[in-house]
Amino acid sequence: MNKHKGEHPRMGAIDVVPFIPVYNVTMEECVKLAHEFAKEFSEKTGVPCFMYEEAATRPDRKNLADVRRGEFEGLKEAIGKDPDKVPDYGPNKIHPTAGATAVGARFFLVAFNVNLGTSDIEIAKKIAKAVRYSSGGYRYVKAMGFEIKERGIVQVSMNLTNYQKTPIFRVFETIKNEAERYGVPVIGSEIIGLIPLEALVMVADHYLRLENFSIDQVLEKRLLEVE
């Protein structure tokens, strides 16, 4: 971690360990698992653990961005000195090479990025500011603007922390409208990692203007239920 550099905020080699109630498990069970994992992980590795989201032990640690603020370098200086930086589990000092780890229980997060046909990073940053909750945008959106230098474009990179309450299509349309204000086209979008079927069905329902459609009409969902 002393040599690591990158675009995304981070405070540890194993930066975040989320427990997510995907299927046949409750959020309460995920919270319990998160605490059990953090305790055992910190005892075995000496890596301090901070609990976040539904597993948070204090209100100011519910938001992952607040837990990670200052990143590895800032936490390295503050831990052991600042009482607000005492970990929930593990030693009250940074691991010299692995840093610290955030462990939590949360709703399914969708990592969704929108690519813009410009190399002007300021436009991406302005649009990210318009959609993210911390600066007045959508409640369940975290967003940043990044350059993709090898392609000569910029990107609005987002975490959608509750796709049911802030659906993908709503965020996409807002970004498209904001980009048009700057005379910039949306040239593509991408999903990073896994995504719930329901989230994609909501997008299809919106753009196709389906009438009386239900996710139960999706063949694969019915087959999974039979199994």
Same domain, 84 and 98: yes
Same domain, 129 and 99: no
Which residues are catalytic, by number?
8
Same domain, 49 and 100: yes
| CA angle, 177 then 165 then 160, to 5° | 65
Same domain, 136 and 168: yes
- Within 13 A of 179's CA, how many CA atoms are on the CB side? 25
Same domain, 22 and 98: yes
Whole-prediction pTM: 0.76
Q: Looking at the 3D structure of the chain, how many domains does it have? A: 2
User: Token digits for 1?
Assistant: 């971690």
CATH code of the domain containing 58: 3.30.990.10
Q: Provide the domain limits for residue 140.
A: 110-196
Same domain, 65 and 145: no
Residue where a domain terminates, one of 87, 105, 123: 105
In a domain, 47, yes or no: yes
For residue 14, count other CB atoms closer than 10 A to its CB: 17
Same domain, 96 and 122: no
In a domain, 20, yes or no: yes
Same domain, 71 and 140: no
Same domain, 86 and 122: no
Full pLDDT tens readout for the chain, 227 residues: 888 887 778 999 999 999 999 888 999 999 999 999 999 999 999 999 999 999 999 999 998 989 999 999 999 999 999 999 999 999 999 999 999 999 999 999 999 999 999 999 999 999 999 999 999 999 999 999 999 999 999 999 999 999 999 999 999 999 999 999 999 999 999 999 999 999 999 999 999 999 999 888 988 888 877 76
CATH code of the domain containing 126: 3.30.70.670
What's the length of the chain? 227
For residue 49, count other CB atoms closer than 10 A to its CB: 27
- Within 13 A of 148's CA, how many CA atoms are on the CB side? 16
Contacts 24+ apart (CB under 8 A), 131-136: 131/156, 131/158, 131/171, 131/174, 131/175, 131/178, 132/158, 134/65
Let me know: does 114 contact 124? Beta carbons within 8 Å. Answer: no
Rounded Cα distance between 195 and 98, Å, is: 29
Same domain, 147 and 95: no
